[in-house]
Amino acid sequence: MLSTRLNVKTILYIVVAVLAIAITYLVHSQVNLSGEGRAIEAGLIESGDRPAIYFTLRNTAEVDANYTYVVAYNLTEGPTVEKSSIAVPPGGVFRYALSLARPSYGAIVVNLRVHRGSEIRDDSLLYEQTWIVGAQA
């Protein structure tokens, strides 16, 4: 009886250890985003009448990485597009932030696209996200 309990406990410890290793592996693979040596974090910060869009691009590879980002948004005066190519050194981080004036009516639609390399092609798209900044109620 005591021997059976020890065997069950041993098996449970092994199962828990295997699950912990599997979860660690899955989290690590999500952070590295397909193993290309990049990690992208982006978001919208709602702050009163000055919301901000940001993104952080981290190069976790051992070589320089080139990217092109495009931020497109609509203003009362018309559409605006900011586009730039950047080189991020190994272990380096590129940060971008865009502060907007909250519209008094309607909404601002902001689209972010990050591409690998200096050309914008469908097959080079690494990340895309769209945010909607609405008028203050």
Range 98-127 average pLDDT? 91
User: pTM to 2 decimals?
Assistant: 0.68
Beta strand spans in 3-51 (E): 38-45
Please tell me the distance from the alpha carbon of residue 12 to that of residue 57, in angstroms, as a whole number. Answer: 40
Average pLDDT over the chain, rounded to whole? 81
Please tell me the distance from the alpha carbon of residue 54 to that of residue 2, in angstroms, as a whole number. Answer: 59
- The answer on pLDDT for 19 being more than 90 is no
Closest CA to 93 of 58, 119, 48, 50: 58
Rounded alpha-carbon distances, angstroms, from residue 115 to 70, 118, 129, 136: 8, 8, 12, 33
Please tell me the distance from the alpha carbon of residue 75 to that of residue 61, in angstroms, as a whole number. Answer: 37
Given a contact cutoff of 8 angstroms between Cβ atoms, the answer to whether 115 and 128 are in contact is no
- The answer on pLDDT for 28 being more than 70 is no
User: Bigger pLDDT: 131 or 24?
Assistant: 131
Please tell me the distance from the alpha carbon of residue 82 to that of residue 72, in angstroms, as a whole number. Answer: 6
- What residues have CB less than 8 Å from 76, skipping those under 6 apart? 103
Given a contact cutoff of 8 angstroms between Cβ atoms, the answer to whether 117 and 68 are in contact is yes
Instruction: Show the tokens assigned to 18.
Output: 């295997």
